[in-house]
Homo-oligomer: A and B are copies of this chain.
Amino acid sequence: MKRCSSISDGLLDPLFESADVGRRLSDTSLLRALLDVESALAQAEADAGVIPIGAAKAIAEACTSTPFDVAQLGIDAQGSGNPVVPLVRALGAALPEDARPWVHLGATSQDILDTAFMLLARRSGVLMLADGDAAADACAELVAAHRDTVMVARTLGQQAGLTTFGLKAAGWLTSLDESVARLREVLQSRLAVQLGGAAGTLGVLGDAGVAVSARFAYLLDLAEPVLPWHTNRQRVLELAAALGGVVAACGKLALDVELLAQTEIAEVGEGAGTPGGQPHGGSSALPHKHNPVDAVLIRSAAYRAPGLLSALFFAASHHEHERAAGAWHAEWESLRELLRVTGGALARTGSLVSALSVHADRMRATVDAAGGLLMTENVASALAPALGRAAAQALVGACAARALERGATLRDVMASDADVLGHLSPAELDAAFDPGTVLKSAGVLIDRALAAHAGLR
């Protein structure tokens, strides 16, 4: 019995990919794309008068209806080092005699594979853009809903002041918006056909080379490049970097969720269930535990994407002469894997954000428990004009130490400190401790982020 695949039988895939995106990246989808490219090439050549129109029709028909054996093509690819050679042979065998000379005319394997990978990027990328927009929309809802939900800001793991959950989520939103916008830009403007022939000169096509190339691009709805890009991989790099940016945005969001979901903090939690019904994040060994599974799986992508990205950048500078001896081959699985984990991270980010439980009361409780210590920056600033920055900070610091020691709030300690009262009236002290004072800009910033998001589409 023929094995289906040497690696994947579906045991780990669902954890790391979106099923829809994954399907569009499969070997079967790659074969489909290779055939679409061969078909479009023939059509473009017929349109340009290079081959008979009947041949193009026969090729299109064979590309659509021939049942190719994916795994056998893979085995046969070993002699030449790429699957296009056996595919063209098999395609030729499926053609009527008079169409055979016209298949793959003037093309080289790299033309077909590069163009097919561009189709794969677009076909999977379209889903990612939708998933990205959905995740950002869900984020925007969180932002709007929690515009005024006060919470602790944390730097280097330490409580450091006040912010709002709306502003934190606005940071996620802006990062998603920026990275998805860049991905959209790359998908829309940088995916291009590759057509150069064996030497990258369009040589066999004679006078018709450029016309065929233009028509080829038109038919596949891809850009026509200034030059064949067989050894100029800037398009691949821009795509890869955009994917890496998206994963970074998702990864930061997931990290925050995981940190906020820590048992001791518990200011957010992942949603209560997956469609299948199984309790989400449940632990069979520990019934009360609720693991942030989505965040964890998104974060796994953030560990993997940079290495995949580096492989593509490594390879891109090593395309010898008119065809790379290995660097090009290294791209195939690396780029596909990067597309795959990005798609997985993005889809999962959407579900994570959509189902996120935000515990505003708990956030408030954390703020209250800090007893005014989160306002020290503001209070010291209020004292600075009179005392100077250093003395003001020292005074606040001394009061804070006393507050921690006595279990009192900083507000109360300062209200009974003679030095403080010599410079701030009780009303001024109240103002300095009012969270509203330090959150004035937060609302404005949030509104800007929401407006920017709304303006994107």
Contact = CB atoms under 8 A, between A and B. Distances in A.
Given A175-B234, A198-B377, A311 B304 contact: yes
Contacts of A152: 263
Nearest to A230: B171
Which range holds the interface residue count of chain A?
A: 35 or more
A305 interface: yes
Interface in A110-169: 152-164, 167-168
Interface string A1-36: 001111111111111110100110111101100000
Interface of A is mostly: helix
Given A9-B28, A203-B440, 12 more contacts: A105-B384, A154-B323, A156-B296, A158-B262, A198-B377, A231-B252, A251-B316, A287-B397, A288-B397, A295-B326, A299-B327, A307-B308
Nearest to A89: B284
Contacts of A75: 10, 14, 276
A309 to B, nearest CB: 6
A350 interface: no
A320 B255 contact: yes
User: Which of A232, A292, A327: most chain B CB closer than 10 A?
Assistant: A232
Copies assembled: 4
A62 interface: no
A74 B15 CA distance: 7
B334 A307 contact: yes
User: Which of A234, A311, A315, A376: most chain B CB closer than 10 A?
Assistant: A234
Interface string A330-347: 101110110010000000
A419 interface: no
A156 B109 CA distance: 13
15 contacts: A8-B26, A11-B74, A97-B388, A108-B285, A153-B322, A161-B198, A203-B437, A203-B442, A207-B440, A226-B449, A227-B445, A237-B248, A258-B326, A300-B327, A303-B315
Contacts of A105: 381, 384
Contact of A25 (B7, B88, B309, B340): B7
A216 interface: no
Interface in A72-87: 73-83, 85
Given A74-B11, A259-B321, A307 B299 contact: no
A154 B320 contact: yes
Given A251-B318, A255-B317, A330 B303 contact: yes
B156 A291 contact: yes
A364 interface: no
Contacts of A426: none
Given A226-B449, A320-B259, A325-B295, A160 B401 contact: no
Given A157-B258, A179-B234, A162 B199 contact: yes
Contacts of A421: none
Nearest to A173: B227
Given A6-B25, A14-B74, A310-B309, A244 B237 contact: yes
